[in-house]
Amino acid sequence: MLMKAKKSLGQNFLIDERVSQQIIDAVRPKISDIIVEIGPGTGALTQLLVDESGLVVAVELDARLIERLRREIREPNFHLVEADALKADWNSLLDAAMKQWREFHPEITAAPRLRVVANLPYYISTPIMERLLQLHGRLFDLTLMLQEEVVDRIASRPGGKDYGYLSVLVQYFCMAEKLFAVPPEAFSPVPKVHSAIVQLIFHQPKPVEVTDEEKFFAVVRAAFAQRRKTILNNLKAAISILHFATAPIIALENSGIDAKRRAETLALAEFAKLYAALFFN
Ligand code: SAM
């Protein structure tokens, strides 16, 4: 049964069952997995996840949907949390999920994998993703439905037209792969944008070593500040804010990067070298 969607909560419910199944096929949940679903909505993915995984913890903000899900999904390996995913204490939530999974599966001695699956509300998809990335070391992967344009930015490689701050941020933590596009008609109500599924598998360990992540991402952000400018000019414009230990022109030379290049051509490893040269060499 359909429910009147709340625009303010980014509610576009998935109604195409083939797409739901395609997502489950991509996730391939196992009994040894704990799936955290953000925004289960009317349960288009939830029941399928409950059927195949060891435990599903679903975080939903809308009380009407909570009530409906409680009525419809009654399996003991389903746990519903009424919370705002942006404000939730994620470490406590994951601790509680681990404890619950162990109670259900005392026969499995290996630790479960913590995995996130979500058709995210697009109005807060970036801040939610930023919070999830901070859980590296705990989470195994994220399978997310996002606006297609955002997925293209996340998965783009150096030199690609969509490569930018978001690509470097996500690819520092994860291997990113765009899986497939989902047309607007797969949802009700029909959104104005196209969607796509991206799978983010956390690197273990991270591909580059960075001692101060905040400073590293500040450098990346500054490097992309104006896409048409060279990397040197963008870094020069940030001197008064970032207080580099080494002048950008010298740092670029020391890291073997041509000062005339643009940030969109730099690979993650080059950003890491540049950050070290700017602050520590
Ligand atoms: N998963 C369902 C589906 O695929 O049909 C619903 C997806 S809908 C795009 C987004 C869902 O996130 C809605 O159920 C909405 O109520 C919920 N939501 C919105 N903001 C939220 C928040 N801050 N925390 C948790 N859930 C939220």
Structure tokens, 42: 């009317």
Asked whether residue 193 falls in the same domain as residue 233, the answer is: no
Q: What is the mean pLDDT of residues 210-238?
A: 97
- CATH number for position 36: 3.40.50.150
Asked whether residue 250 falls in the same domain as residue 225, the answer is: yes
Length of the chain: 281
Given a cut of 70, whether residue 159 has pLDDT beyond it is: yes
Asked whether residue 76 falls in the same domain as residue 124, the answer is: yes
Query: pLDDT tens across 19-51, in order?
Result: 999 999 999 999 999 999 999 999 999 999 999
Q: How far is the CA of 19 from the centre of ligand 1 (A)?
A: 17
Structure tokens, 35: 């799936």
Q: Domain for residue 51, yes or no?
A: yes
Q: Domain for residue 91, yes or no?
A: yes
Tell me how many domains the chain contains: 2
Determine the pLDDT at residue 4.
85
Q: Please give the residue range of the domain that contains residue 63.
A: 7-202
Ligand 1 contacts CB of residue 119 (under 6 A): yes
Question: Which of 25, 81, 83, 34 is closest to 56 using CA atoms?
Answer: 34
Last residue of a domain, one of 174, 202, 230: 202
Q: Domain for residue 207, yes or no?
A: no
Ligand 1 contacts CB of residue 143 (under 6 A): no
Q: Domain for residue 161, yes or no?
A: yes
Cα–Cα dist 197/118, whole Å: 10
Q: How far is the CA of 244 from the centre of ligand 1 (A)?
A: 42
Cα–Cα dist 86/94, whole Å: 15
Return the ∠ at Cα 251 (arms to 248 and 257), rounded to 5°.
Answer: 100
Q: Domain for residue 14, yes or no?
A: yes
Asked whether residue 242 falls in the same domain as residue 116, the answer is: no
Question: Which pTM does this prediction carry?
Answer: 0.96
Asked whether residue 226 falls in the same domain as residue 196, the answer is: no
Last residue of a domain, one of 172, 202, 232: 202
Q: How far is the CA of 37 from the centre of ligand 1 (A)?
A: 9
Question: Which of 192, 180, 195, 185 is closest to 15 using CA atoms?
Answer: 185
Query: pLDDT tens across 233-252, in order?
Result: 999 999 999 999 999 999 99
Asked whether residue 170 falls in the same domain as residue 218, the answer is: no
Q: What is the mean pLDDT of residues 114-133?
A: 96
Average pLDDT value over all residues in the chain: 96
- Phi/psi at 54 (5° precision): -70, -35
Asked whether residue 58 falls in the same domain as residue 191, the answer is: yes
Asked whether residue 106 falls in the same domain as residue 164, the answer is: yes
Q: How far apart are the first and last CA of the chain?
A: 62
Given a cut of 90, whether residue 2 has pLDDT beyond it is: no
Q: Domain for residue 2, yes or no?
A: no
Q: What is the mean pLDDT of residues 126-153?
A: 97
Asked whether residue 101 falls in the same domain as residue 227, the answer is: no
Q: How far is the CA of 44 from the centre of ligand 1 (A)?
A: 11
Asked whether residue 157 falls in the same domain as residue 103, the answer is: yes
- CATH number for position 225: 1.10.8.100
Q: Domain for residue 36, yes or no?
A: yes
- Whether 150 and 166 have beta carbons less than 8 Å apart is answered as yes
Ligand 1 contacts CB of residue 60 (under 6 A): yes
Q: Which residue minimizes the CA distance to atom 17 of ligand 1?
A: 39
Given a cut of 90, whether residue 149 has pLDDT beyond it is: yes
Q: Domain for residue 208, yes or no?
A: no
Asked whether residue 154 falls in the same domain as residue 192, the answer is: yes
Last residue of a domain, one of 175, 202, 229: 202
Q: Which amino acid would we find at residue 53?
A: S
**Which DSSP symbol is given to 118?**
E
Q: Which amino acid would we find at residue 14?
A: L
Q: What is the mean pLDDT of residues 95-114?
A: 95
